[in-house]
């Protein structure tokens, strides 16, 4: 159950897709004055060393962040979501070398309004990662605006949604759901959570990351999410990225997707432009593909 450690995968192509989508979504949501509750159900350790033993073992950032950085240097201008993503990474690496990779919790914190309007709720069940997350978040001295809990993020949503009303009376929340899927039942849990909370809090923005692998559960998940959104008459967006397999590739994840329910109206155009740059930059062989679908 606890074999997955995101430190082995930090900065890979899946992180690039996930975090570009996350930041673009948040940028739009933060344009509204009312406070928002931000939730990460599977937060990981929060910060990762790209020059550490875990990251170096698989060197997955080489086919993700580092490849993107190399491509970006050759261009005069970047799509806004890509530029934003790379600037956020750079802010954690003031010496100019990408050695620290911020996970979703730290990227979400960077975009929070800090006049006590926004709240960030983080959940991580892995004992080691939960301890690291708590320690990393403590460095921010964020007080009660951020909480870290070692518990099942799926279950934790029950006490957080619907979120409390803001000072203006509105209820707003963005939920990032990105389990490791090392347990086959995670696929059903994700779909069940979305089904439940589209009934309990239908106006929330839900972002689901998922792997694209030859497994029935993985194949069916985006289809089920699309059906649930359509049944609830909620807009959706599905962005996928496959970097393809190189000639010497013997395995590993090469494709993933981000499914967003109640996406900002600007997101489709933003992610399409981003993937038109990111896709070719990260592509490495047969099977490369990237696309954006929406309702």
Domains of the chain, residue spans: 6-294
- Three-state SS string over the chain comes to CCCCCHHHCCCCHHHHHHHHHHHHHHHHHCCCCCCCEEEECCCCCCEEECCCHHHHHHCHHHHCHHHHHHHHCCCCCCCHHHHHHHHHHHHCCCCCCCCEEECHHHHHHHHCCCCCCCEEEEECCCHHHHHHHHHHHHCCCCHHHEEEECCCHHHHHHHCCCCCCCCCCCCCEEEEECCCCCCCHHHHHHHHHHHHHHHHCCCCEEEEEEECCCCHHHHHHHHHHHHHHHHCCCCEEEEEEECCECCCCCCCCCEEEEEEECCCCCHHHHHHHHHHHHHHHHCCCECCEEEEEEC
Place of tokens 């809090």: 201
Region 98-110: mean pLDDT is 96
pLDDT attached to residue 28:
98
Answer yes or no: is pLDDT of 123 > 60: yes
Q: Identify the bridge partners of residue 2 per DSSP, sorted by sequence position.
A: none
What's the whole-number average pLDDT of the chain?
92
Q: Residue 57: which pLDDT band, with cuts at 50, 70 and 90?
A: low
Lowest mean pLDDT among 40-54, 94-108, 279-293: 40-54
Residue 40 annotated to the active site: no
pLDDT attached to residue 250:
63
- Which CATH superfamily is 6-294 part of? Vaccinia Virus protein VP39 (3.40.50.150)
pLDDT attached to residue 56:
53
> Using one digit for the tens of pLDDT, what is the confidence trace for 141-194?
878 899 999 999 999 999 999 998 876 778 999 999 999 999 999 999 999 999
Q: Residue 94: which pLDDT band, with cuts at 50, 70 and 90?
A: very high
Tokens of 83: 């530029």
Please tell me whether the overall predicted TM-score, pTM, comes out greater than 0.75 for this model.
yes
> Using one digit for the tens of pLDDT, what is the confidence trace for 199-255?
999 999 999 999 999 999 999 999 999 999 999 999 999 999 999 987 666 678 999
Q: Residue 53: which pLDDT band, with cuts at 50, 70 and 90?
A: low
> Among residues 53, 178, 249, 276, which one is catalytic?
178
């Amino acid at each position: 159950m606890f074999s997955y450690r995101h430190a082995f995968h930090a900065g890979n192509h899946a992180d690039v897709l996930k975090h570009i989508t996350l930041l673009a979504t948040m940028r739009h949501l933060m344009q509204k004055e009312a406070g928002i509750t931000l939730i990460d159900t599977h937060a990981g350790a929060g910060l990762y060393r790209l020059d550490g033993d875990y990251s170096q073992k698989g060197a997955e950032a080489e086919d993700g962040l580092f490849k993107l950085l190399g491509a970006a240097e050759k261009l005069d201008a970047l799509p806004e979501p890509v530029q934003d993503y790379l600037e956020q990474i750079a802010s954690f690496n003031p010496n100019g070398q990408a050695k620290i990779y911020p996970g979703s919790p730290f990227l979400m914190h960077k975009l929070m309004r800090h006049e006590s309007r926004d709240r960030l709720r983080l959940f991580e069940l892995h004992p080691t990662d939960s301890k690291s997350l708590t320690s990393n978040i403590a460095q921010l001295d964020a007080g009660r605006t951020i909480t870290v809990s070692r518990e099942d993020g799926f279950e934790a949503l029950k006490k957080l949604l619907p979120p409390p009303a803001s000072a203006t009376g509105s209820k707003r929340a963005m939920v990032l759901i990105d389990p490791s899927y090392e347990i086959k039942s995670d696929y059903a849990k994700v779909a069940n959570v979305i089904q439940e909370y589209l009934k309990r809090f239908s106006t929330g923005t839900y972002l689901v990351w998922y792997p694209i692998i030859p497994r029935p559960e993985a194949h069916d998940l985006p289809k089920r999410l699309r059906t649930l959104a359509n049944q609830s008459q909620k807009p959706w967006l599905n962005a996928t990225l496959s970097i393809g397999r190189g000639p010497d590739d013997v395995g590993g994840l090469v494709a993933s997707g981000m499914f967003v329910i109640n996406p900002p109206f600007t997101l489709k155009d933003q992610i399409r432009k981003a993937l038109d740059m990111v896709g070719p930059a990260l592509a490495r062989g047969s099977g490369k593909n990237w696309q954006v679908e929406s309702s």
